[in-house]
Amino acid sequence: MRDRFARVLVLATACLFSYTDTTRSGTQNVYRMEPLHHQYPRKILPLLIRYCQECHQGDTAEAEVDLSQFETIDHIRQDLDTWLRIREMLDTRQMPPKDALQPTAAERTILQKWVRDVLAFEARSRSGDPGPIVLRRLNNEEYNYTIGDLTGITTLKPTREFPIDGAAGEGFINTGAAQAMSPSLVSKYLDAGKQIAEHAVLLPDGITFSEFTSERDRTDAFMKRIQKFYQPYVASMDTDGQPAWVNFQQESRFPFEKYLEATIRERTDLQQQKITLDEVASRYRLNKQYLRRLYHELSTPSDQDSLVLDQIRTRWQSTEAGDLNTLAAEIDTWQSRLFQFNPIGHIGRAGGPRAWLTDISPVTVQQDFEIQMPLVPFGESISVQLITSDAGDGTDSDWVLWQNPRLVGNGANIPLHRVMGLADRIAELRQVMLEKTEQFLQAAAEVMTAGPNELRPDLKTLAVKHDVDASSLAVWLDYLGVGVGELVPITAYLTNKIEKSGNYDFVKGWGRPETPIVLANQSDQEVRIPGIAKPRSLMVHPSPTLFAAAGWRSPIYGMVTIDALVGDAHPECGNGQEWFLQHRTSRGVNTLDQGKLGPAGRATVPTIELDLNKGDLISLIVGPNEGNHACDLTEINLIVTEIENRQRVWDMASEMSLNIHLSNPIDDIHGYEKTWHIYEGEVASLDTEPKQTLSIPRGSLLERWKSEKDLDRKAFLAEQIQRLVLSESPKPGQSADAKLVRQIHGLKVDLGDVTTLSGIRLDERFGIHPDQKQVKPEDLYVSAPSTTSLSIPAQLAEGRTLVVSGRLAPDHGAEGSVQLDVKLGNSDLNQAQAPNGPIVLTEGSKASKRIHAAFHDFRQLFPPSLCYGQIVPVDRVVTLTLFFREDHRLQQLMLNDQQRSTLDKMWEELLYVSREPLKYEVAFEQIREFATQDRPDLVKEWAPLVEGVTARAERFRKQMIRDEPMHLQSVEAIADRVWRRPLTAVEKDQFGYLYRQFRNSGLEHPESIRQLLTRVFTSPAFLYRLESPPQGQEAAPVSDLELATRLSFFLWSSLPDDELRNVADKGLLVVSETEPHAHQELTRQTHRMLADSRIRRLAIQFACQWLHLRNFDRNDDKNEKLYPEFRLLRASMYEETVQFFSDLFQNDGSILEMINADYSFLNSSLARHYEIPLPTDTDSKTDRLWQRVNGVQSRGRGGILGMASFLASQSGASRTSPILRGNWIYETLLGERLPRPPANVPQLPEAVPDGRTARKLIEEHTRAAACAQCHDKIDPYGFALEQYDAVGRKRIPYVDTSTKLSDGTELSGIDGLRDYLINTRREDLVGQFCKKLLGYSLGRAVQLSDEPLLDKMQRQLAKNNYRFSVAVVIIVTSPQFREIRGLAATD
Amino acid sequence: MIDHRLSRRSMLRGLGVSMALPWMESMQVWGDVSSPVGVSSEAPTRMAILFSGCGYHRHQWWAEGQGPEMELGKVLQPLNDFKERMIFIRGLYNAEALKGNIHSSQTGNLLSGAPLASGGQIQSGTSVDQVIAQQIGHRTKLPSLVLGCEKANPSVHKDYSMLYSSHISWSSPTTPTPLEVYPALAFDQLFKDSRQKSDQSVLDAVLSDARDIRRSISRLDQQKLDEYLNSVREIEQRIERAGKRGELQGWRPTLTEPNIPRPSDGYPQDIVEHMRLMSDILVLAFQTDTTRICTLKLNNDHGTLRFPHLGVDYMIHHLLSHSDTEDWLKVNQFFLEQMAYIAGRLDSIQEGERTALDNSMLMLCSSMMSGHHDATQLPVVMIGGGGGQLNGGQNLNYLEHENRQMCRLYLSMMAKMGVHLDRFGDATEALPEV
C-alpha cells in the first residue's frame, strides 16, 4: 500500500513551494509546504508527545495507533490513513478523551489546522488517482439487468436465489472487494447460463430469446404474434348478430360492419369534404386502404351493370347511421350465397377443396324442387305456389318452363294439371259416401254387437249386405275402431332353435347362428352369457341390419292396458340399442313408443290403454344403434292386461321363459293358440312414421252411438248422424259435433286408381305457350314475375312429394335470368321476397356473364373472412395441418408491402420454430400407414399431397443445415455484446472448435448452440468487468469500450446499449483533454442515459442502497399481529421511494429535493396510508396506477424523511426506534461517525412498560455516561420524527416531537428537522451525497486523493441549483472515472 | 390375512427403497477385496459448527460440575439429555474481536482469529471449517456445506462491511463462503447431479478464458480471478470424482439416497420450519457422507430475525439482546434446541458400534458472551464423540488460563478431523483437554 504513492511523492516534492489550495470549508488560504514541514518537529510533535503518546505509543498503542513512529513528515506521508483518523478525532473532539489531559484551545487549533493542511496538500498532490479498484464481478442485480436487456425478458432473473452479494467500499454491492466466488457459485453460474440458453430460439435469421422454454410454448408465442397481427381484421368472438352460416368460423369473420358504419356516419362530411377518408380511418381505427376502396365503391352511382353491388349501393345511400342491420343482413346473405367455407383437413385431397374459403356461384340452368307434402286432415287442402321472379336485373327475356310438376309417391304419381279435376271427383264421391253414413254405421253396429268369441262377418259380405262399397266400409270401421277380426300376418319367424347359450343349457331360444336371436333364461339363477341373463327373463339381440322382436297377437276384442320394459343387459360395452313398441292392425302400424338406450340404459314405457281387435299384434322390437350390434343383448318384457271381462294377464317374460321351445309361435297359458311370436325383420324397412289417427270427439253424437248398447236407440242415433253430416258443411268450431262433421267430411274417399281415372278436368293454365306453340300438357310456361297457385286436397297429398324442374324457356327465355321458388301455404304474394335459391340462366348467355361479373365484384369487396384467424384448424374433420395460413384476401385488401413482408416473416419464423414441415411429414406418413389397413380409398385421395409434403420437409432440412453456421455467428454476436468487446480471432476459432466438439459428442445443433451460449455466460469475460491496465506506474485512460461499460454499469447497472456501443466502437468517447471538444460525446451520452427510463436502476442500486432501503419490498421485519397491513403495503412504500429518485434523476432535479421535496408519488393504498386524497381519483382498487402528488408537506410528507419506507425500515418490529432513525440521519444521511460503542453496554429495561412512549423509555436508559456519548448525538433526530409510527403512519393524537440536538439547536417535528438539514447542514448533506455517488460510480471507497474532486462536485452543485446531472457529469469526466492505475502502481 | 412368517428380507423390501440398510448389511463392504489398502473402514469423523449471533442470556449460560452430575443454566437446558457427551467450555476468547468495531468485527473472524480490514475493504482469514475442507474435502462429494437461516446483509456498518456479520465461514481471507439459505437449493447441492458431459467442455473453455485474461491484469485482480479459476477447477474435479466415487472408500455410508422429500422452492416464511429443514439437511449430509464439514448459521450477528412462535416479535438485536429478559432466554433456548435436535437425529443413526453422533463433533458458539458486545470470553459448547476422540461430560474453564485463544480449540478440532497444523490464527498449540 505504501509503495504505491512513490510516484505522487515525487510530484509532491516538485511543487513543494508553490501550493495553493481551497480547503473543504471553502476559505481561501495559502499554505507553503515548507513551513508545514518545519512546523512538525517544532510545534506539532511536542503537542503529540504531550497529549497523545501516553496512550498511542509502542506495542501497546491504543487502537493500534502508534504516534511515536511519525518522526518526520515523510513518515506521515506513508501512513495517511492514520492521519485521516487523527483529523476525524480532532474535528469531532473525541481525542484526547475527556478524562485525559486536555490541550488549550490555541494548541488544539494549531494541531487541527496543521493536520488539515498536510492532508489537503497530500490530497491535492494525489488528486485524480483512479485508485485501487478490485476486479468487479457482475453482482446479482447487474447480472439480471444485463440478461433482461439482452433477451428482452424481464421475468428472467437467473440470480434470483443466488447468495446475497456483499457490500464494501462506500457500502454498495458493486464493489469488487465484497464479491465472493466459490465452486458452488460457479456451479450456479453454469446453471444460470444454461437457464438463459434454454430461452434461446433459433430463427431463420439468427437467435432470439423467448419467454418460454418449451417448444410448445414458444410455438404458441410465435403463433399468438400472428394472431395479434390478424386481430384487427377479424371480429371478436362475442360480437352479436353474426350470421348463423359463419358458424364455427366466427373467430375469423371480417367485421365489415364497422367500416360500413363509419362510411354512413361520416357520409355527409365526406361528401362535403369536411373530413378526409384517412381522418375517418384513424378516428374509427380502421384500415385506410380498405376504407378508401369501400367508400369509393359505395359512393359511385349505380351503373346497372353490377347486379349485387348495385342493390347494396342503393341501400347504402338510403341507410342512416344506427340503422345498419338491414344493409348488413343483405351483405350477409350475399356472402352466404357467394362463398363457402371448407374443412381445412380436406384441402388438397383428390376431390377436396382448394382452399378454406372458396367461391361459389349460385347459378344453374335448371332448378329441381322436391317438397314433401305435409300431413293435414283429409277434409282440408294444401296450397302450393310456383313462384317465378326476376333475378334483380329486370324481367327482360324472363320466360320459364316449369317441367312436369307432379305429386310423386304412394304408388301413383299425379301431375299437377290433373289435381283440380281430381279434387272435383273427390268431392263428388264424398257426397255419395256422406249420404250412406247411416248404412256404414249399421254395418259397423252389426260387427260390434257380435259376442267376443262369435265369428265375425267378413268385409265383403258385410258391404254387400248393407249396400255400401267395401273399401269405404273399411275406412269407416277403421275410423270407428271396429275390427272384423283379421290376423296380422308375420312372415319372418326365427326358426332355428338355440339349445344353450353361454354354456348354460337353461338359456334357450330362437335365432340365427350369429344374430338376431331371442333367448330366455328358464332358471332362477342369474348368469353371464356374456351379457346378464336374469332369472326367468327374456332377451333379444339384434344383428347390424336385422331387428329381433317378440310379439303378442291379441286373441280377444276389447280394452287392455300395455306395460313394457327394455333394458341393456350388457352394460359394460356397446353403444346401446334402439327399440320400438308397435301396434299393428290389418290396416297399418302405429308406433306406441320408441327410444334409444345408452350403455346400461333402461326404459319403462308408461302404461298405455288400447282398444284392440282380435288379431292385432303388439310387438317389442329391438334394433342395433347405428348399425353397431356389439353387446346389444337386451332384456325385454311386455305385460298385457284385460280391462273388461275376465281381466286376464299375459306376461311375456314369464310365459316365454317357461315355454320358449314348445313351438314358434307359442300358445298362451289361457288356452289361446299362437299368441306369442318370435320374429325378425329389416331394420331399414321398419315402419315407424307416426300415422294419422282420428279419435271420435268426446260428447259427440257418434260417441254416444258407439257406446249405445240398445240397438233401437243406436239406429236412431245413426239416423241423426246421417242428418247432421248432410245438413251441415264443415266449419271451424270447437263443439264436439262441429269436430265430428269435419272428421266425417274428411274420411278418405275411395278414388280408385288415380292414374287411370278418366274424364278428369285439366287445369287450363298448363300446357299453354304464349305463341300457341307446342307445349307438353303437364308443363307450365310463364313469365316473371308470376306466381301459380294450386290447391291440393289432403287425400292426394298424403304420402306424396311435389316434384318439379324449372328452367328458362328455350325460346323466349334464352337470355333471361330468373329465380324460382316453390312454396307451400298461403304466403302473401305482394310481399314475396327475392328467393335465396340460385339464379337460373342459360349457360354462355350474356346474362350469365353479366351475373358472374356481378358476383365477382361483390366478392372482391365483401369477403366474409380476410384470413384464417385461428391459425390452428378447428375443423370437425381429421386434419394434419398444424398451422393453416390463408390470408391473401387480407394482403390484397388491407396490407402494404411492408406489412406483407412482416407477416411473411412471422409465418416463416412460426414454421421454423415449430419445425412444422418435419412434423407434418411425420404425421402425414403415420396417418397414411394407419389408413392403408382399412381405408385404401383415403390413401388414394391423399396421393396428390405426398410429393409436396416430402419436398417441403426436404427443403426445410436443407435450410436447417444451411443455417447452422449462421447460428454459430449469432452466438458470437451475442458474446460480442455481453462480453462488451469484440471477440478475438482465436476466440472465434475456439467457438467453432467447441461447437464441433459438441456435435461430435452427439449433441444436436440446437443443443450445441445452447451449450455454446452457456459457455458465453459462464465465461469470466461476461461475469467480470475486466479492464486492461497499462504497464508501468502511470495511470492511463481506459479504452472506449471499457469506458462505455463503466458508464453503462454506473447509470444502468447493465451493459451498454446499441447506441453507446456504437459510439464506443467508433472511438468517440475517449478523447484527449487537449482537444477542443473533450468529453463532448461522453457528456452527451451521459445526458441521454440519464433521461432514459433505465435510470430507475440507479435509483434502486445507488439511492435505495445508500439509504438502506434496497429490497424494502421484501422487508420481513414487522410484527404481523401489530401491523397486518404492512405486508400488503411494503411494495408500495418501496415503489414510492424508487419512483421519487427515478424522477429526480431522470428529470435532473435538485438533490436537495431528497429532503425538502413538496411532492411525492402515490398509489391509492399508499395515499390511504398517508391520509392524502389523490388528485385524480382512480376509483379503482388497483395499486398499479401511480401519480405525482404536490403539496404533501402540509400533510406531513415530502422528501425521504416523510416516506414510510424510511420510517418503517428504521423502526423496530413492534414499535418505533428513535435511536435507529436518529442514527440513520446521523450516519447515513449526514455521514457523521459515532465513536465506537462500548464493549459492555448497560442493561436495557425488560420490556416496553405500558403507558410509556418509546421516547421516554430511551431517555431514561441512555443517561448512563457510556451510552450518552453516542445517544446524545443521534436520539434527538429520532425524537423529531416520533409523530410517525413503526409503519410510517401519522400518530394521533399529537406526540411531543420537540428536541434539542447535540449542537444545541432546538427544533420540532419533521418540518423543523427538514429546515435544519437543508439550511444548517446543507454542506454535510451534499458532501455525503457526493461521497456516496462517487464511491458507487467507482466501485471503491472514497480516498484522500478524491477530496479535491468531491470539493469540485460540491461547488458546482451549489452553483447549479444542485442539479443531479452536474454531479454525474463531473464524475464521468473525472480522471478517477476515465482512467485506470498502471500495473506497477497497483502491484 | 397377514402372513406372520414374512422373511426379514422381504420385510426390508417392503419398507421401500429409501430406507437405509441396517448396519450389518452394509458392513459386508469391510471384507471387500477391491478396497484400496490403507483406506479406513471406520466411519469418518464429521464436524458441524453452529452459530447464533449476539451471545446469550448473561446469567443463564453456565454449567456446574462434571459428567452426569453436571448442572446447566437455563439457556443450556435443551442439552440436558446430552450432558455425558457434552463439553462445556468457558473462557476462550478471540483477541482480534476486541479490536475494531462491535458485531461485524466480532463475527467475521470468529472462526479464524484473523484481524479484519475496515474502510470499505474486505480482509479476514480462512475459517477453520474451510481450512479443513481444503485439506480433506476432496474425499466427499462436497468439500463442505455452508448453511444459514438468515440472508446476508448487503451494506456497510460503521466502516465495516456487513459481510463480516453475515459470514462465519471464509474460503479465503477475502472471500466469505457463499451461504445457502434456501433449503431446496441446499438439498440440491447434496443430491442434484445436473452436470452433463458437455459441461466439462464448457468449463475447459472458460478456464482457458480465465488463464488468458490472467496474463494482462494486475496482481490484485489476479487474486480475485484466481478464486474463479480455482472454483472452476474444483467443479471439474467434482465431475471427475463423481464418476469414481464409491470405489475409493472402504467405508460406505448407511444411506445413499435422501430419505426426506426435497423441500419446496423458495424462502421459508416460518423460522421454525426453516431451521428444522436446514438441520435435517445437515444430518442428511452427514448420514449420506456427502460432506463431513458443515457450518450452520442460525442467524446473523446484528440480525433481524423475529420469533413470532415464541411470542417474541421485536428487534432481537439491541432491544432484545441488550436486555436479559425471559424473551431473550426463550430465543436462546430455541437456538440450543436446534443443536439438541441435530444431536438427537445423529444419535438415532447407527453406524456399526457407534451412532453418527459418536462419529461427529458438534460445536455451538456465538460472537460474544452476552448481548452487550462482551467478547472477552466466548460461549462454547460441544456435543458428540468425534469418532472416539472426544470425552464427554467435561466442564472446562480457561478463564484464568494465560493462553485461552479460541483458535486453540480450532487446532484441537482440526486434529480430530485429521488436519494437523503448527499454528492457526493466534494459537500455536491445541487445547490438550479437548
For the stretch A7-19, pLDDT in tens is 433 333 333 333 3
Closest CB from B209, B235, B325 relative to A1247:
B325
Pick the range with the lowest mean pLDDT from A240-249, A277-286, A1029-1038, B320-329: A240-249
Residues in chain B: 434
Q: Interior CA angle at A169 toward A163 and A172, to 5°? A: 50
Q: What's the confidence (pLDDT) of residue A1330?
A: 97
Q: pLDDT band for position B21 (50/70/90)?
A: very low
Closest CB from B163, B205, B231 relative to A183:
B231
Tell whether the model's pLDDT for residue A1279 goes beyond 90: yes
A160 near B CB under 8 A = no
Q: What's the confidence (pLDDT) of residue A641?
A: 93
Q: pLDDT band for position A959 (50/70/90)?
A: very high
DSSP assignment of A1166-1192 equals: HHHHHT---SS---SS-TT--EEEE--
A1264 near B CB under 8 A = no
Average confidence score pLDDT of chain A? 86
Q: What's the confidence (pLDDT) of residue B245?
A: 55
Q: Mean pLDDT across the stretch A627-639? A: 88
Q: What's the confidence (pLDDT) of residue A242?
A: 45
Q: Mean pLDDT across the stretch A194-222? A: 93
CA-based radius of gyration for chain A: 52
B40 near A CB under 8 A = no
Tell whether the model's pLDDT for residue A1177 goes beyond 70: no
Contacts of A1233 in chain B (CB under 8 A): 158-159
Q: What's the confidence (pLDDT) of residue A1078?
A: 75
Residue B98 CB partners (closer than 8 Å, separation 6+): A1239, B375, B376
Q: Which residues 993-1012 of A are in CB contact (within 8 Å) with B?
A: 994, 997-998, 1001, 1003, 1011
Angstrom distance (rounded) from CA A283 to CA A278: 9
Angstrom distance (rounded) from CA B61 to CA B52: 14
Q: How far is CA B221 from CA A1027, A1028, A1192, A1382, B121, in A?
A: 10, 11, 49, 13, 14
Angstrom distance (rounded) from CA A1359 to CA A1330: 15
Each residue's pLDDT tens digit, A24-58: 333 334 445 557 778 888 888 888 888 888 788 87
Pick the range with the lowest mean pLDDT from A91-95, A531-535, B293-297: A91-95
Q: What's the confidence (pLDDT) of residue B250?
A: 63
In terms of average pLDDT, the best of A652-656, B26-30, B300-304 is: A652-656
Q: Which residues 158-217 of B are in CB contact (within 8 Å) with A?
A: 158-159, 161-163, 166-167, 171, 174-182, 185, 189, 194, 197-199, 201-203, 205-206, 208-210, 213, 216-217
Grid look-up 319403462 returns: A604
Which residue type sits at B152? Answer: A
Inter-chain CB proximity B185 and A1212 less than 8 Å: no
Main-chain dihedrals φ then ψ at residue A455, nearest 5 degrees = -70, 135
Largest Cα–Cα distance of chain A, in whole Å?
Answer: 168
Q: pLDDT band for position A572 (50/70/90)?
A: confident
Q: How far is CA B49 from CA B338, B365, B432, in A?
A: 12, 8, 20
Strands (E), A800-872: 801-808, 817-824, 839-841
Q: What's the confidence (pLDDT) of residue A693?
A: 63
A992 near B CB under 8 A = no
Inter-chain CB proximity A1024 and B228 less than 8 Å: yes
Each residue's pLDDT tens digit, A792-806: 998 898 889 999 999
> Could you count the other beta carbons within 10 Å of the beta carbon of residue A752?
11
Q: pLDDT band for position B315 (50/70/90)?
A: low
Are A1136 and A1203 in contact by the 8 Å Cβ rule? The answer is yes
Q: pLDDT band for position B193 (50/70/90)?
A: confident
Each residue's pLDDT tens digit, A410-459: 778 999 999 999 999 998 888 989 999 999 998 888 887 776 555 667 77
Q: Mean pLDDT across the stretch B154-159? A: 80
Q: pLDDT band for position B321 (50/70/90)?
A: low
Angstrom distance (rounded) from CA A167 to CA A171: 5
Mutate: best of B224, B325, B330, partner A, most A CBs <10 A: B224
What's the predicted TM-score (pTM) here?
0.73
- Residues of chain A above pLDDT 70, percent: 91
Chain A residue with Cα closest to B271: A1116
Average confidence score pLDDT of chain B? 84
Q: What's the confidence (pLDDT) of residue A899?
A: 95
Q: What's the confidence (pLDDT) of residue A97?
A: 79
Q: Mean pLDDT across the stretch B160-176? A: 88
DSSP assignment of A486-551 equals: PPPP---B---EE--BTTBTTEEEEE-SSS-EEEEE-SSS-EESSSEE-TT-EEEE--SSEEEEEE
B237 near A CB under 8 A = no
Q: What's the confidence (pLDDT) of residue B375?
A: 84
Q: pLDDT band for position B28 (50/70/90)?
A: very low
Q: What's the confidence (pLDDT) of residue A1003?
A: 93
Q: pLDDT band for position A926 (50/70/90)?
A: confident
Q: What's the confidence (pLDDT) of residue A217?
A: 92
Each residue's pLDDT tens digit, A482-518: 776 667 778 889 888 888 887 888 898 998 888 889 9
Q: Chain A closest CA to B121's CA: distance in Å?
A: 6
Beta-carbon pairs below 8 A across chains A and B: 240
Q: pLDDT band for position A94 (50/70/90)?
A: confident
A221 near B CB under 8 A = no
Q: Chain B closest CA to A961's CA: distance in Å?
A: 22
Q: What's the confidence (pLDDT) of residue A610?
A: 82
Q: Mean pLDDT across the stretch A1048-1069? A: 96
Q: Mean pLDDT across the stretch B141-152? A: 92
Q: What's the confidence (pLDDT) of residue A1158?
A: 97
Tell whether the model's pLDDT for residue B2 goes beyond 50: no
Tell whether the model's pLDDT for residue A729 goes beyond 70: yes
Q: What's the confidence (pLDDT) of residue B18?
A: 29
Q: How far is CA B211 from CA A880, B230, B233, in A?
A: 54, 11, 12
Q: Mean pLDDT across the stretch A596-622? A: 87
Angstrom distance (rounded) from CA A1009 to CA B175: 34
Which residue type sits at B309? Answer: H
In terms of average pLDDT, the best of A314-318, A1094-1098, B60-64 is: A1094-1098
Q: What's the confidence (pLDDT) of residue A1062?
A: 96
Q: What's the confidence (pLDDT) of residue A587?
A: 66
Inter-chain CB proximity B217 and A1026 less than 8 Å: yes
Interhelix angle A256-265/A288-299, rounded to 10 degrees, is: 60
Contacts of B376 in chain A (CB under 8 A): 1239
Angstrom distance (rounded) from CA A793 to CA A812: 34
Tell whether the model's pLDDT for residue B147 goes beyond 90: yes
Closest CB from A182, A1110, A1340 relative to B231:
A182
Greater confidence (A20 vs B418) lies with B418
Q: pLDDT band for position A1387 (50/70/90)?
A: low
Sign of CA dihedral B144, B150, B154, B160: negative
Q: Mean pLDDT across the stretch A1168-1173? A: 92
Contacts of A1227 in chain B (CB under 8 A): 158
- Residues of chain A above pLDDT 90, percent: 46
Pick the range with the lowest mean pLDDT from A288-292, A1019-1023, B7-11: B7-11
Q: What's the confidence (pLDDT) of residue A188?
A: 92
Each residue's pLDDT tens digit, B372-385: 778 889 999 999 99
